[in-house]
């Protein structure tokens, strides 16, 4: 798939078929993440792949509780249990490392799109102190590491949701920030 076509095609997909994604595809996606730029080339990402149905069910509950606590809109959360989860953790709480992890995550989303898979990212769990704590306990994440982005990857249930073309909002200033810039 052409690069710009992939960029355009990537949308957050939250309706997956109940179908296991081969680990070879997950590996390709993660490797694409590893190609991302990182501050001082530290490659500070640590990845946890979660495909155990019981663990995914626990994560779904943690996610739902976090969304409730944050007063987010009600959502069908089956994408958490139907998809394969890729948790991106940063090796430290340093901003430079966290930004690097976000870059890796976007590469992974694009790789999933290029492979014809649906994907999405969610951080609601980590916006909640309780959510983060519960994830640390469940997945035995050491204190020094920072769980940041939860990616879901799955086979999209085709024809179920019509994605509206994305209205891209961009404000570009030239040479200085401002109306006449």
Ligand X SMILES: Cc1cc2nc3c(=O)[nH]c(=O)nc-3n(C[C@H](O)[C@H](O)[C@H](O)COP(=O)(O)O)c2cc1C
Residues that bind ligand X (CB under 6 A): 11-12, 120-124, 166
CA distances from 90 to 21, 49, 63, 97, 143 (A): 25, 15, 20, 6, 11
Q: Parallel, antiparallel, or unpaired: how do β-strands 45-50 and 146-154 relate?
A: unpaired
Tell me whether residue 11 or residue 42 sits nearer to ligand X (CB atom): 11
Other residues' Cβ atoms within 10 Å of the Cβ of residue 59: 25
Q: How far is the CB of 152 from ligand X (least distance, A)?
A: 9
| H helix or E strand, kind and range, residue 50 | strand 45-50
Runs of H (alpha helix) within the chain: 3-9, 23-34, 53-69, 78-82, 95-114, 124-127, 129-139
Tell me whether residue 44 or residue 120 sits nearer to ligand X (CB atom): 120
Tell me whether residue 12 or residue 92 sits nearer to ligand X (CB atom): 12
Q: Which residue in 124, 125, 141 sits closest to 47, CA to CA?
A: 141
Tell me whether residue 168 or residue 172 sits nearer to ligand X (CB atom): 168
Q: How far is the CB of 82 from ligand X (least distance, A)?
A: 14
Tell me whether residue 100 or residue 122 sits nearer to ligand X (CB atom): 122
Using an 8 Å Cβ cutoff, are 118 and 108 in contact? no
Q: How far is the CB of 12 from ligand X (least distance, A)?
A: 3
Question: Of all residues in this chain, which one has the CB nearest to ligand X in the complex?
Answer: 122
Q: How far is the CB of 71 from ligand X (least distance, A)?
A: 13
Helix, strand or coil for residue 96? helix
Q: How far is the CB of 62 from ligand X (least distance, A)?
A: 12
């Amino acid at each position: 798939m052409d690069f710009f076509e992939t960029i355009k095609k990537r949308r957050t997909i939250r309706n997956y078929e109940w179908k296991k994604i081969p680990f070879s595809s997950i590996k390709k996606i993660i490797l694409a993440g590893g190609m991302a730029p990182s501050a001082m080339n530290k490659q500070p990402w640590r990845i946890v792949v979660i495909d155990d149905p019981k663990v995914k069910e626990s994560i779904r509950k943690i996610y739902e509780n976090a969304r409730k606590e944050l007063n987010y809109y009600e959502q069908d959360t089956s994408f958490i249990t139907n998809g394969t989860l890729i948790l991106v953790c940063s090796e430290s709480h340093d901003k430079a490392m966290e930004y690097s992890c976000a870059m890796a995550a976007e590469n992974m989303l694009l790789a999933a799109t290029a492979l014809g898979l649906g994907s999405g990212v969610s951080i609601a769990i980590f916006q909640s102190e309780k959510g983060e704590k519960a994830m640390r306990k469940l997945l035995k994440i050491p204190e020094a590491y920072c769980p940041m982005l939860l990616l879901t990857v799955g086979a999209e249930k085709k024809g179920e949701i019509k994605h509206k073309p994305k209205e891209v909002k961009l404000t570009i200033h030239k040479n200085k920030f401002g109306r006449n810039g």
